[in-house]
Structure formats: structure tokens, C-alpha cells
Amino acid sequence: MYNKKITALIAICTTLYLCWMIYDASQSSNDHSLTYFNERKKFLKNIKITFRSQPKGSKVDKRYYENPQPYEYYFKNLINEPVLCSQYEQVFLLYIVRSIYGNLDRRKVLRKIFQDIPYDSFSKDIIIKHVFLFANTNNYTTESLIRKESRKYRDVIQEDFPESYGNVYLKTLIAWKWSVEFCANVEYVMVLNDELFVDQVKLVSFLHYDLSQADYDNHFALCYCLGGRESEHNKYKRFRDLGQKMLYQGKYYPKFCHGVGYVAHISVIRKLYLGSLQNKMLMPDDVWNGVLSEKLGISLNCRNDLFHTTRYYRPLLKTYLQSPILVSICDQFRPMPTAPCMQQMYDSIYILRNNNQVRYRFQQYKEQRVLSRDSDV
């Protein structure tokens, strides 16, 4: 009897202790994130950004210079990872992936890519993080599955606006917002759709080289440029259905970074985010980043030669060593479905990287870039 009481008492004490530990951990995390968020909010409020006058030759409709419209949003955060970045002193690269729940197979490949951190002189001790960005599906079953995925991987961010094609620009806004509020200690941010394949090993060395160049915080590090021609979104039903109030009103597009994926220093992302609060958002969402970039004087740094479509991926692998970076647009309009294409790209490049001869030549290539960088300084 005495032993049973002791056993029961120990069980109760253990349960209370575990409950206290869980509560303390959750409170510490909340306190930490709240403090971090408040500090970021105060810092961002005091940052002043300057919009330039419309430059000569600009194709942006003048109303976006003469009559900018501030935008207020009050979205509730449904799922967050507030200490994903702030638990580290410095994060080198953050991926923010715009996704929908049905693209599980794409996220599976992307998670493998994001874990494939190179171990070399460029990458020693660097931290790379990623999140997948969702909107609200308003479907109980889907929402429960998103929460389950969040608990498993701790890499899901979700905001309370409807999941729809017309709200893609809101995902862009939240990507910028989350970066500057919850991952301000990052060097570079890559905003991308979940159909984009990127070779992380090459991207890291590419960004180290970019970081050594002058004015790296005032241009996109990697951008597939479009625009500079007559606007054409009204030709497509998916845009017409959104209504004219949501659409870009100019006759000509500015130059802009294709929304499928781009990389920029956190300073550039911060300027875009703060600029977006003073300028009405619009669709197509990538045209919007072009309008903001022109008004803020941000250089696009076009590198269209580094982006490839998936139908050419086999011959592309033959030139793997010659390209400083490898990014491939794996969308559903190509002959091969998106996720299998991404997986084959990943498998083929993994084999290449583990080939001793290829690895040696790749190391030589990176050393040449270092010498080139040092001679430019």
C-alpha cells in the first residue's frame, strides 16, 4: 500500500513537472517571439525609404508615381515559426516558397534540396532555412492536414486570407513581411514558387561572390527579367476574371523579376516591403515588383541565361560545370510532370557532384571565382 502511494506520488510529480516544462517552453518561445517582433516593428517604423521621381524612359504608367495608394492589411497569422531564424546569430539564406497543400510531392523534393547544405570554404558554419507559405483553404480537412504537416516539419507559415490565384500577390507581400519581421538576421532571401528547382550548392557560392561586390544590397542577386513591352495580361481570362481594379493599369510593363523565383539581399526585400505599404498592390504580382523596384531605384541584375526550362535538362547537365548556378523552371506545361522532373534533376546532379572528377573540377571553378573576386576588390 505504501509503495503504491509512493509510486502514485512520483507519477503525479512527474506529470506536473512535464506540464511545467511544456508550459515554460511555450511561454519562453512566445516571450522571445513577442520581444523580437516588437523590436522589429519599432525598427521598421523608423526606417525611411525614398521614392525617386519617374526616370526618363520609364514605361510605368504615371499614375503610379503621381497617385500612390497606401495599403492596409489585417490578416491573422494562423501558423507561424517565430523563432526559426532568431534562435541563430546569423542566417545566410532563407527560402520562402509559395505553395498550395496539394503540391506535397513538390515540397518533398524541395525539402531534400534545402537540407543539401554544402561543406566547403564558402559554406562553413552557415545556416540555411526555409518556410512554405500557405493561405487559408477554408476546408476543415485540408486545414487539419496543413497543421499536421506543420507539426511534423516546423516549416509552414499560414495567413488568414483565401487561397486563390487572385491572392498570389498577397503571398508575395507576406513573404517580404515575414522575412523582415521574423528573419531580419538573414543575408539573402529567395522567394519562389514550388515548381522551381534550384541547385543549392551552386547558389551558395554564387551568393558569397555577390556579397563581395559593391552595392549588393541595392540590386537583386538573381532575377529572370521580363517586361519592358506592351502589357498583355488582359488577353488572359484568369486575369480578366479578377476585375480591372486589381490589375496593372499601364499600357506598358516595366522591367520586372519573374515571380517564379528571385533572390535578393534582405535590405532589398525590406525596401520592397516598406515600399509596398505605400503603393497599392496589383496583379500580375511580378509586374508589381517591377513598379516598386523602379520607384525605389533597385537594379534587377538580369540573369536570364541562368534559368532553364525542364525540357532541356538532360543536355543542361552536361554543362553543369560551366554555369555558376543552376535553376530550372519545372512547371506542369512541360512534357514531364513537375515533381518527377524536379526529382530527376536532383538525382542526376547528386550523382554528378559525387563523381570525384566532377567534384575536383567544380572545386577548381570555385577557386577561380575567389581569385576573380579578390582581384576585383
Angle between helix 168-182 and helix 2-45 axes, rounded to 10 deg: 100
CA-CA distance, 118 to 138, in Å (whole number)?
A: 39
- 255, three cell numbers: 522591367
Mean pLDDT of 5-24: 48
For residue 18, pLDDT over 70 is answered with no
Residues β-bridged to residue 131: 96
Residue of higher predicted confidence among 7 and 252: 252
Residue 253 lies in a domain: yes
Residue 189 lies in a domain: yes
Of 101, 74, 96, give the one whose Cα is nearest residue 85.
96
First to last CA, the chain: 80
Helices (H), the chain: 2-45, 63-66, 104-115, 140-153, 168-182, 200-211, 237-240, 266-276, 285-296, 313-318, 338-353, 356-376
Residue 122 lies in a domain: yes
CB atoms within 10 A of CB 89: 7
Q: Which residue has the cell 559593391?
A: 214
Q: For residue 118, which phi and psi values (nearest 5 degrees)?
A: -70, 150
Mean pLDDT of 42-50: 73
In single-letter form, the type of residue at position 311 comes to R
- 66, three cell numbers: 503621381
Residues β-bridged to residue 136: 162
Query: Which CATH number is 92's domain given?
Result: 3.90.550
For residue 355, pLDDT over 80 is answered with no
- 289, three cell numbers: 515588383
Lowest-confidence region among 101-105, 226-230, 333-337, 365-369: 365-369
Residue 238 lies in a domain: yes
Any long-range contacts for 54-61 (C-beta under 8 Å, 24+ apart)? 55/294, 58/254, 58/294, 59/227, 59/228, 59/250, 59/252, 59/253, 59/254, 60/250, 60/252, 60/254, 60/290, 60/291, 60/294, 60/295, 61/248, 61/249, 61/250, 61/251, 61/252
What pLDDT score was predicted for residue 28? Answer: 35
Residue 321 lies in a domain: no
What pLDDT score was predicted for residue 41? Answer: 60
SS3 360: helix
Q: What is the pLDDT of residues 74-127, one digit of tens each?
A: 778 899 999 999 999 999 999 999 999 999 999 999 999 998 876 666 677 899
Residue 41 lies in a domain: no
What pLDDT score was predicted for residue 314? Answer: 62
What pLDDT score was predicted for residue 4? Answer: 56
Q: What is the pLDDT of residues 148-196, one digit of tens each?
A: 999 999 999 999 999 999 899 999 999 999 999 999 999 999 999 999 9
What pLDDT score was predicted for residue 17? Answer: 38
CA-CA distance, 285 to 319, in Å (whole number)?
A: 33
For residue 21, pLDDT over 80 is answered with no
Mean pLDDT of 21-39: 45
CB 277 within 8 A of CB 227: no
Mean pLDDT of 137-145: 96
Chain-wide mean pLDDT for the chain? 83
Residue 119 lies in a domain: yes
What pLDDT score was predicted for residue 210? Answer: 82
What pLDDT score was predicted for residue 193? Answer: 96
The confidence band for 30, taking pLDDT boundaries of 50, 70 and 90, is very low
Q: What is the pLDDT of residues 327-350, one digit of tens each?
A: 888 885 566 789 988 998 888 888
What pLDDT score was predicted for residue 39? Answer: 63
Helices (H), 222-265: 237-240
How many structural domains are present in the chain?
A: 1
Residue 278 lies in a domain: yes
Q: What is the pLDDT of residues 249-288, one digit of tens each?
A: 999 999 999 999 999 999 999 999 999 988 988 899 999 9
Domain that holds residue 117: 62-304
For residue 325, pLDDT over 50 is answered with yes
| Strand 156-162 versus strand 128-136 pairing type | parallel
